[in-house]
Amino acid sequence: MKAAQARILLTGGSGGIGAAAAARFVNAGASVMLVGRTPEKLSTQAHALSRDAAPGTPRVQWCTADLTQAAELEELGEIAAEWGCNVLVHCAGAPSFGPLESLDPVDMAQVLHTNLLAPMLLTRALLPHLRRLQRAQVICVGSVLGCIGLPGYSVYSATKFGLRGFAEALRRELGDSSVRVQYLGPRSTRTPFNSAGVEAYNRATGTASDTPEAVAQAMLELLESEATERFLGFPEAWAVRLNGLAPARMDAAFVKHRNCLSAAAKADAAPGATSPTTAFQGLES
């Protein structure tokens, strides 16, 4: 689907990747409904996007919703259907990093709900409307960690593995319909989503990262190409394939990550450090 034909419901629209994606979609001619939790932030962002958009570009809409509340997801689906949404982009997400035994059970449940259950429930709510359209798309913004499990990311990887499985199964379920289901797997991205511990971990392990704008461009290309999946970065995209073929043989490649985990986790535990795992700041993928 060309961007100019798209009416996109974008969750996590005010996060680092989400904000960049919203700008890229609007600049390409799409209509966008931003979804987030803070009215003031969404209103300011929508105004800026509408002001900076090319002449003739439809106004940007926004809607507040708490993605952890099933009733609000149902209502959001109704609003999006009435608005004429034909593309649903699941870009909201919550982080989780650290040794499993150090994670708070309440935070773990919130991460699982935000990253996995919320996209499933929102897709379910909007699917009857999408099925009635001649063309529609559902884009799940996951992570390369949805295909490669790294030390320190047991909970986060579980949500992204689940999201990819959801996208794959739903794609096959809807194979004879007008709805295409796609999965985008970014690698580490330079946004406030990353805690001090994650930044230390990335430096210690030599993990490369992309800008939110690079991920947003890949998202736009995925929308228009209608490709099934896309993973970003080298060697990450290559490692996804290798890990899928022989995961046990890849275990030794992550010894450095395991050895760096304890030191990285201490950065989040240092006085004054605020871990997004607890604060749930900067919702995005």
Burial class (CB in 10 A: 0-12, 13-18, 19+), 246: exposed
Please, what's the b/e burial string for 75-111 (b: 16 or more CB within 10 A of its CB; e: otherwise)?
ebbebbbeeebbbbbbbbbbbbbbeeeebeeebbebb
Is the CB of residue 240 less than 8 Å from the CB of residue 152? no
Interval 65-83 mean pLDDT: 96
Residue 81 identity (one-letter amino acid): A
pLDDT band of residue 277 (cuts 50, 70, 90) is: very low
Q: Backbone phi, then psi, for 62, in 5-degree steps?
A: -145, 155
Q: What are 158's two structure tokens?
A: 């579980």
Q: Which backbone phi and psi does 163 adopt, to 5 degrees?
A: -65, -40
**DSSP state for residue 30 in the 8-state scheme:** -
**Tokens found for residue 241:** 């394939």
Across all residues in the chain, what is the average pLDDT?
90
| 283 — pLDDT class (breaks 50, 70, 90) | very low
pLDDT at 10: 98
Which tokens sit at 104? 């708070």
**Confidence class for position 14, pLDDT limits 50, 70, 90:** confident
Whether the Cβ atoms of residue 191 and residue 17 lie closer than 8 Å to each other? yes
Q: Across residues 268-284, what is the average pLDDT?
A: 50
Give CA–CA dist 73/125, Å, rounded. Answer: 7
Reading the block at residue 30, the tokens are: 């799409």
Q: Which of 80-89, 202-211, 244-253 has the highest mean pLDDT?
A: 80-89
What integer pLDDT is reported at residue 139 of this predicted model?
Answer: 98
The 10s digit of each residue's pLDDT in 150-209 is 999 999 999 999 999 999 999 999 999 999 999 999 998 888 878 888 888 888 888 888
Give me the phi and psi of 173, to 5 degrees please.
Answer: -65, -35
- Round to whole Å and give the CA distance between 46 and 57: 13
User: Does 3-279 carry CATH code 3.30.565.10?
Assistant: no
Specify the pLDDT at position 284. Answer: 44
